[in-house]
C-alpha cells in the first residue's frame, strides 16, 4: 500500500503542480512544493555527476531493499509490529527506487517549515521510512525484538 500511495501522490503532484511551484496549505508551516531531488536524504550528493550518483543510489537502494526484505521474511509471525516497521521501510525504499529508475531522481512535495526555517522537502515514501525506523527504534528500546 505504501508504494501505491507514494506513486499516486507523486503522479498527482507531477500532473497538477508545476516544478518548483508551491501551494501554501498552512501559512508559515506547510506547503505542497513540487521539486526533484537528484541526491539522497537531505540532498546528499545532489551536486555530483549524474552517472556516478545514479549508479551509487541505485546500488545502495537495491541492496537496502534486499536486506529489508530479508529481515521482513525472517521476522517471526508473533512480532507483527516489527513486521509492520519492515514493511513501511521496504515500501518507502521501493517507492523512491521506482523514481530513481524512472526519472534518475526522487519526486518530493511535502514542505514543512517554520517561518524561514525549512525542513528538506520529502514524500510519502520518506514518511513511511521514517515511521518504520521510529517503530524499530522504539522496539529496540523496549527490548521487544526476537532472539
Nearest CA among 64, 42, 40 for reference residue 52: 40
Sequence-distant (≥ 6) Cβ neighbours of residue 19 within 8 angstroms: 34, 35, 36
Q: Is residue 48 part of a domain?
A: yes
pLDDT tier, 91 (very low <50, low <70, confident <90, very high otherwise): very high
Q: What is the distance between the alpha carbons of residues 97 and 60, in angstroms, rounded to a whole number?
A: 10
Q: Is residue 15 part of a domain?
A: yes
Q: Quick one: which H or E segment has residue 56?
A: helix 50-74
DSSP bridge partners of 122? 110
Number of domains in the chain: 1
Cell output for 49: 555527476
| pLDDT tens figures, 6-31 | 999 999 999 999 999 999 999 999 99
Q: Is residue 146 part of a domain?
A: no
Q: Is residue 17 part of a domain?
A: yes
Q: Which residue has the higher pLDDT, 96 or 45?
A: 96
Question: Residue 126: which domain range?
Answer: 2-141
Nearest CA among 15, 13, 10, 38 for reference residue 23: 13
Q: Is residue 36 part of a domain?
A: yes
The catalytic residue positions are 108, 126
| pLDDT tens figures, 25-74 | 999 999 999 999 987 665 566 666 667 777 888 898 899 999 999 999 99
Amino acid at each position: 500500500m505504501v508504494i501505491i500511495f507514494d506513486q499516486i501522490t507523486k503522479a498527482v503532484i507531477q500532473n497538477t503542480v508545476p516544478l518548483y511551484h508551491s501551494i501554501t496549505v498552512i501559512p508559515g508551516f506547510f506547503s505542497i512544493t513540487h521539486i526533484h531531488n537528484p541526491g539522497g536524504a537531505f540532498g546528499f550528493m545532489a551536486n555530483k555527476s549524474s552517472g556516478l550518483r545514479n549508479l551509487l543510489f541505485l546500488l545502495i537502494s537495491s541492496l537496502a531493499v534486499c536486506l529489508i526484505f530479508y529481515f521482513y521474511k525472517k521476522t517471526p509471525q508473533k512480532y507483527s509490529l516489527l513486521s509492520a516497521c519492515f514493511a513501511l521501510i521496504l515500501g518507502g525504499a521501493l517507492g523512491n527506487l521506482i523514481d530513481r529508475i524512472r526519472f534518475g531522481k526522487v519526486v518530493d512535495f511535502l514542505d514543512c517549515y517554520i517561518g524561514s526555517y525549512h525542513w528538506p522537502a520529502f514524500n510519502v515514501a520518506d514518511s513511511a521510512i521514517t515511521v518504520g525506523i521510529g517503530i524499530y527504534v522504539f522496539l529496540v528500546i523496549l527490548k521487544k525484538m526476537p532472539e
